[in-house]
Amino acid sequence: MYNPKTKGDHIMPNSVYKIIELVGTSSESWEKAAENAITKASESLRELRIAEVISTDLTIKDGKIESYRTKLKVSFKFEGHH
């Protein structure tokens, strides 16, 4: 039977991750829009883990692409207050 307290075993604490949706924009590309969203989110969120692209679209003005938009689901480690 497995005993997690056996000497030599490494016990990983239980972790919880929160998932939020972000929309990044760029005048260059969908990739740059995603990068902009992650860069901005990392300024206030710690331990970002995974970003999943949910959708991409763009805005058009006068028949030309004005901006690219990338919608992401981003997970980060959730740290509650004790």
Sheet containing strand 48-61, strands side by side:
17-26, 64-77, 48-61
CB 25 within 8 A of CB 68: yes
pLDDT tens column, 19-44? 999 999 999 999 999 999 999 999 99
Kindly list the structural domains of the chain, giving each domain's residue range(s) and its CATH number in brackets, ordered by start.
Answer: 17-77 (3.30.1660.10)
Q: What's the confidence (pLDDT) of residue 81?
A: 55
Q: What's the confidence (pLDDT) of residue 7?
A: 47
Which two three-digit tokens encode residue 35? 């990068």
pLDDT tens column, 8-17? 454 446 778 8
C-alpha–C-alpha distance, residues 50 and 68, integer Å? 21
Sequence-distant (≥ 6) Cβ neighbours of residue 38 within 8 angstroms = 22, 24, 48, 51, 72, 74
